[in-house]
Amino acid sequence: MRSDRAPIGLTLAAIAGLLFLHLPILLIFLYAFTTEERTYQFPPPGLTLKWFEVAWNRPDIWPPLYLSLKVAAVSTALALILGTLCAAAMARARFFGRDQLSLLIILPIALPGIITGMSLRSAFSVMDIPFSTFTIILGHATFCIVIVFNNAVARFRRLSGGILEASADLGANGFQTFRHVILPNLGSALLAGGMLAFALSFDEVIVTTFTAGQQSTLPIWMLNELVRPRQRPVTNVVAIVVFVTTFIPILIAYYLTRGGSDTAGAGK
């Protein structure tokens, strides 16, 4: 017999699983308001908003925040250009080794970050490239490209050859076809890919530790901060900032790609 309702045991297990995943995040938020600054005591002895003010006035927070935003923005921009071009080539051309190349492009995201980080670090030192903002951006671009590529390649496949031919048939040159047909159909996929890439870059730790040299991005700053004894809730305040900065783009990306099924190929 079929029933629309899941068995009570399964429902409870699912709820327990979700709570296990998400309660710790709520705890992070909670400790941003605690009055106890040295230990994470539960329940918090009192609640206060002063850590937001303290965080705001701490000069050492701002450079990592700027650096993180800059790295995420530049590597996302790089990824948008290179990832889209890769996707266009993979979706439209047929050449020897295409599938293998496609796998190589996706590899950075499948590879453990520590491997990517180590290999980049050794490559940079072999090539005598000093660690700088530039090297962090290169490191982040490796996985940002994959995100954009994956989003774009799926959309390119749905852009049936028919509408590109129709555009040419009606007199459009290659640029006009790109501008009026490809880009509008690709737009939401690129926006979604860009948002995800930005979010991933903004909270990246592992690859960054191998490629950053003396600079700290915000996640690295947080990691260092956790071992300090004083003003612990400041880290939690920053955690909320990171959470919001990464969660909102991911949410937007989710809504953009969810409705995407009726943007291309609906002419069939």
83, 152 Cβ separation under 8 angstroms: yes
For residue 185, state whether it binds other proteins (rule: CB under 8 A): yes
Cα separation, 198 vs 73, whole angstroms: 7
Judged by CB, which is closer to other proteins: 20, or 96? Answer: 96
What SS3 class is residue 47? strand
186-216 burial code (b ≥16 CB/10 A, e <16) = bebbbbbbbbbbbbbbbbbebbbbbbbeebb
Which helix (DSSP H) or strand (DSSP E) does residue 188 occupy?
Answer: helix 183-202
CB of 90 to other proteins, least distance (A): 22
Name the segment binding other proteins (CB under 8 A); options: 90-98, 114-122, 180-188, 250-258. 180-188
Size of the site for other proteins (CB under 8 A): 24
Q: Which of residues 206-265 bind other proteins (CB under 8 A)?
A: 262-265
Judged by CB, which is closer to other proteins: 170, or 227? Answer: 170
CB of 139 to other proteins, least distance (A): 36
Distances (CA, A) of 73 to 95, 101, 144, 156, 196: 33, 26, 11, 24, 12
Name the segment binding other proteins (CB under 8 A); options: 48-56, 137-145, 171-179, 196-204. 171-179
CB of 38 to other proteins, least distance (A): 57
User: What is the DSSP code (8-state) at residue 5?
Assistant: S
For residue 169, state whether it binds other proteins (rule: CB under 8 A): yes
Q: Which of residues 83-122 bind other proteins (CB under 8 A)?
A: none
HEC string of 60-76 equals CCHHHHHHHHHHHHHHH
Among 72, 74, 79, 181, binds other proteins (CB under 8 A): 181
Among 92, 180, 228, 258, binds other proteins (CB under 8 A): 180
- What number of CA atoms fall less than 13 Å from residue 45's CA on the CB side? 7
Among 166, 205, 223, 252, binds other proteins (CB under 8 A): 166
Among 50, 165, 251, 258, binds other proteins (CB under 8 A): 165
Q: Which residues bind other proteins (CB under 8 A)?
A: 160, 162-163, 165-173, 176, 180-181, 184-185, 262-268
